[in-house]
Structure formats: C-alpha cells, structure tokens
Amino acid sequence: MAQQSGFGRWVVVITAVSAAIMELIDTSIVNVGLNDIAGNLGATIEDVSWVVTSYGIANVIVIPMTGFLQKYFGRKNYYIASIILFTLASYGCGIATDLWTLVFFRFMQGVGGGALLSTSQGIMFDAFPPSQRATASALFGLGIVLGPTFGPTLGGIIIDNFHWSWMFFINIPVGILAVFLSITYVEKKEDEIDIDRKQIKIDYLGIILLAVGVGALQYVLERGEADDWFDDQAIIYLTVAAVVAIPLFIWWQLYGTKSPVLDLRVLKNTNLAIGAILLFVVGYGLFTSVLLYPLFVQRVLGFTATKTGMLLIPGGAIAAFCFPMVGKILSKGVSPRYVVMAGYVVFATFCFLMSTYNAETQDPDFLKALLIRGVGLALVNVPLINTSVSTLAVAELPTGIAITNMMRQLGGAFGVAITNTYVTQRAAVHRGDLIVNTSPENPLFTERINALTQGLASKGINALDAVTGAYRNLDLIIQKQSLMLAYLDTFKLAGLFFVVSFPLLFFIKNRKMDAATAKAVADAAH
C-alpha cells in the first residue's frame, strides 16, 4: 500500500486519532453521570453500574481478536464497520428509555469500540514513512492518554448543563465524519483487496474460551466490590469460569490448534512478555488515577463535576505538548527504555505527591500534580508500546499489538477493582483508628464536642438536640477524614506498583528506534 502524503496523510491521522479518542472517552465519560442516569431511568446505583461494566467486558473480549478479524474481513472494511457499529450503538444509548436497553447498546458500543484502538494504530503507522513512524506512534499515544483523561471532563460539563443522553449523542457526528473520511482516504492493503476467506480457518473454540475467560474475569474485577465478592453466587460462578476457561484457552492456543485466534507463542519474546506486564501497570496507573482524582476532590473537597474536569485540562495539554517531543526523541535513536524509565519515575512521583494531600490542599497543588501526571504518561506510553513489539517478526506483530492493548485494558480493570476494594478496607481501618480517640477521657474530644454543641445552640437549637447534632456532625467529620486517608493510601499503593515493576525495565533489550524497527512496528496491523 502506498503511503499517504500531504493533506491525505493528515486526514488519516485526524481520523484515526479521533476514532481512538472517541472509543477511550467512552470508557470513562459515563462515570460522572451514573447518578443522573439512575434517577432518570428509575434504577439503583448498583444496577446502573452495568452501564460501565458491559462496555468494559465487550472491549476486553474484542481487543485480542482484532488481528484475526482484520485478517478475515480486511482491515479497512473491519475498521469502517466498527465505527458504524459504535456510532449506531451510541445513538441507541442516547434514546434508551430503560436500563437494560442502555446496557445492551453499551455492550454493542464496546464491541465496535474494541476494534478502534489496534486498527487505528495500524492505519496511523501506514500513513507515515519509516523515518517518521515514531512521530505517528506519539500522535496515537496522545489519543490513548487524552481519551480517559478528558472523559470525566466532558461528562461533567454535559451532566452539569445538559441531559445525560448527550454523553452518547456527541459521538454521532464524529462517527459519521470518521466513516466518510475512512471510505475516502484510508487505503486498502494489498493483502485485503482479494481475501479468500475459505482459506482462513476460524478457531471457534479459541474464540469461545477467550470470550468466556476474559469476559468472566472482567466482570469479577468490575463487579466484585459492589457485589461483596464471594458472598455473591454470580461472582463465584464467574470466577470458576475464568479459572477454568483461561488456562484452557492458553493450552489450546499453544498446543491444541494450528490456527490460533491469538498466537500466545509470541510471548516467548522477552521484550513483549515484559512489555505486556509493564503496560498492565501503566493501564493500572492511567485508569486508577482517572478514577481516584475525581472521587477525592468531589467527595472530600466538594468540587463540582465541571471544576473537577477543568483541572484535568492543563495536564492533558502538557501531555499533548510532550507526545510529539517524545516521538522526535525516539526518531533520533534514543533508546525507548531510558524514556520509559524516566516516565516511570515521573508517574510514581505524581502518585506519591497526591498521597500527601489533604482537605486543605488548594487548586494549584492539584494542578501541579496533574501536570506531572501528563508528563509521565507521555514518557511511558509511546516508547513502551514501541519497545514491546520492536523485536518481533513481522508475522508476529498483529498478535503483539493485540496483547499489549489487551493488557493495558486489563490493567485498567484490575486498577478499578483493587482501588474500590482497597479504599473500602482502608476507610474502615482509619475510621476505627479515629473512633478510638472519641472518648470522654480525651480532653480534645470533649473540647470539640462542646464547641460543636455551642455552635448549634447559638442557632436556636435546644440543648438536647444540640448535643445529638454535635455527635452526628462529628461522626460525619470522622467519615470524611477516614475516606480522605483511604484515598491517600490508594495513591501511595499505585505509586508502589510502579516502583516494584521498575526493575523489569532492565530486562528489556536495549534496541534503538532505527528505520528497520520503525518499519516493523508500522506493519503491526497487517
């Protein structure tokens, strides 16, 4: 396939990045609107969380199969069909009048969106010559970070000013434009012009085992905390399904079939195996920080959804500024490993800095931390993806790309699950520690209760009710303090993940981004 040039190339770039951002925004945009959706559809918060869960399950099932599906349908056809499905499902979500209709269309949206990451990445690389593909990788990495980052921002603005359905309707014009530009400017590769599907064997058992195993695991990770983990029968059954299906899938892909849907033999490559683990940690950090920051500032400091989102914008802007710089650094031959090391240190710094904040922290302090986060993500994502697949053979690259994208998504799901569980546990521990001090023998406790009682009495409340109200207000203060300390502990835990996994970087082969490597990465979607 001839490479694009000039105007056509940048149209392809805008199309691919927009499609990737659109897909990733939808992983987090609804998080800030769950209360409004629940109230409007007459559902509980527990039930409406399926709006998030169904999308994640569909995403993580489809992502590892994108290499096979591109081969079977042709990359351009599969890409356009996925955008159309995503767009139609977005419309279905927007007009849904009951919860389970919304959940169904969210699942279909996830099926369509799951194809957009890896496929967009391949289309981006093909638009550039080998010498400029590090820049292409940087532009695509920008979309990977900006999507989850701006999801809550956009969602907050919509929830505060419009109906929740517009979180889905905004995808429609972007989807229509992306389809038109893809049909017009994205070229077919030589091997997809005349596909003989009769010669392509379909690994039906592998697809079933993958869907059951990964889908069940994603469900357990996302719903475990809300459903009290193993006190819930569905969690037990699906945990068993995941424990059985995933090992069977691995065995089948390695030994049971000659035409695997996901050829796991590529994990014999050291760079890919270590890179997959590190991308799991990056996904954990990316999605956990997007989850923790809004919860912290909204529940502890009382920020509005709009203000919460607005503070994310400068961090996104610095990431946008850094990504092209990272691409240029890589294209000049700097080892990706050194850039990733710097990114790991910077992102861990963000986590540990956030773990020192409290209810008195001011906006500039959060802004500083989020700027550090933006720099860290820019330094980590692009070079880590490149170095993970840089030593693979051309035929192995589609599977390598699929595995890296899947591991990043699974890392995000794991991060959300462990965050919810850890916050709950640490809040209970901190509450117990604080309550120990609420004893009449403690002069500070007596002084605080008296002050609260007098404050209520000064507002005309009778003495008995003032005492009762003082104790109630103190309990609320303890709850808020416990929650704040739990969030700080969870930020620290996220930082420790980066510290513990840092030594793995020394086992990655120190291969520079030369023209041959760039060309190999460019063929990733073939």
Give, as one character, the DSSP assignment of residue 16: H
- Residue 198: Cβ-neighbour burial (10 angstroms; 0-12, 13-18, 19+): exposed
CA dist., res. 481 & res. 294, Å (int): 17
Which residue pairs from 296-299 have beta carbons closer than 8 angstroms and sit at least 24 positions apart in sequence? 296/354, 296/357, 296/484, 296/487, 297/366, 299/480, 299/483
Q: Let me know if 143 is exposed, middle or buried by CB neighbors in 10 A (0-12, 13-18, 19+).
A: buried
CA distance 286 to 316: 12
Whether residue 479 has pLDDT greater than 90:
no
User: Span 376-384, mean pLDDT?
Assistant: 81
Q: What is the pLDDT of residue 522?
A: 38
Of the ranges 170-184, 298-312, 443-457, 472-486, which one carries the lowest mean pLDDT score?
443-457
**Least confident among 120-129, 351-360, 397-406:** 120-129
Instruction: Decide if pLDDT at 1 tops 50.
Output: no
Going by pLDDT thresholds of 50, 70 and 90, the confidence category of residue 520 is: very low
pLDDT at 2: 45
Contact 354, 237 (CB under 8 A): no
Which residues are CB-neighbours of 141 under 8 A, at least 6 positions away? 323, 326, 378, 381, 382, 385
| Confidence band, pLDDT 50/70/90 cuts, at residue 105 | very high
Written as six digits, the tokens of 223 are 């719903």
Asked whether residue 492 carries a pLDDT value surpassing 70, the answer given is yes
- 479-504 mean pLDDT: 88
Q: What is the predicted pLDDT for the residue at 353? A: 92
Nearest in space to 147 (alpha carbons), one of 298, 312, 384:
312
C-alpha to C-alpha distance for 73 and 171, rounded to whole angstroms? 24
Find out whether 55 and 68 touch, Cβ atoms under 8 Å.
no
CB atoms within 10 A of CB 295: 18
CB-neighbour burial class of residue 494 (10 A; exposed 0-12, middle 13-18, buried 19+): buried
**Residue 154 reports pLDDT greater than 50:** yes
Sign of CA dihedral 160, 162, 163, 164: negative
Pick the more confident residue, 111 or 478.
111
pLDDT of residue 193: 58
Reply yes or no on whether the pLDDT at 513 is more than 50: no
pLDDT band at 138 (very low <50, low <70, confident <90, very high): low
Burial label for 415, CB within 10 Å (0-12, 13-18, 19+), is: buried
Q: How confident is the model at residue 350 (pLDDT cuts 50, 70, 90)?
A: very high
Q: What is the mean pLDDT of residues 501-526?
A: 57
Tens of pLDDT, residues 400-434: 777 887 788 778 777 877 777 788 888 888 888 77
> Could you tell me which residue, 82 or 310, shows the higher pLDDT?
82
The pLDDT score that the predictor gives to residue 111 is: 87
Place of tokens 């990465």: 521
More confident residue, 95 or 315: 95
Tens of pLDDT, residue by residue over 80-98, are 898 999 999 999 999 988 8
Read out DSSP for 255-285?
Answer: II-SS-SS-GGGGGSHHHHHHHHHHHHHHHH
Percent of the chain whose predicted confidence (pLDDT) is above 90 = 7
More confident residue, 375 or 386: 375
Q: How do residues 219-241 score in pLDDT, each as one tens digit?
A: 887 777 767 778 888 889 989 99
| pLDDT the model gives residue 240 | 92
pLDDT value for 399: 75
pLDDT of residue 89: 93
CA atoms of 209 and 407, how far apart (whole Å): 17
CA distances for 437 relative to 230, 426, 488, angstroms:
34, 18, 21
Q: pLDDT at residue 24 above 50?
A: yes
The share of the chain scoring above pLDDT 70, in percent, equals 81
DSSP string, 63-86: GGGHHHHHHHH-HHHHHHHHHHHH
CA torsion angle for 363, 368, 370, 373 (degrees, to 10)? -170
Per-residue pLDDT tens for 42-81? 877 667 777 877 887 787 788 777 777 877 787 788 888 9
The number of residues in the chain equals: 526
Q: Token digits for 24?
A: 């990733």
DSSP state of 396: G
Contact between residue 117 and residue 266 where contact means Cβ atoms under 8 Å apart: no
If one counts every other C-beta atom within 10 angstroms of the C-beta of residue 11, the result is 17
Q: What is the pLDDT of residue 519?
A: 42
Rounded to whole angstroms, how far apart are CA atoms 246 and 226? 24
pLDDT at 394: 67
Rounded CA gap, 167 and 159, in Å? 8
Q: What DSSP state is assigned to residue 327?
A: H
pTM above the 0.85 mark?
no
Count each helix (H run) and each strand (E run) in the chain, helices first.
Answer: 22, 0
Average pLDDT along the chain: 78
- Please report the pLDDT score of residue 352 as a whole number: 92
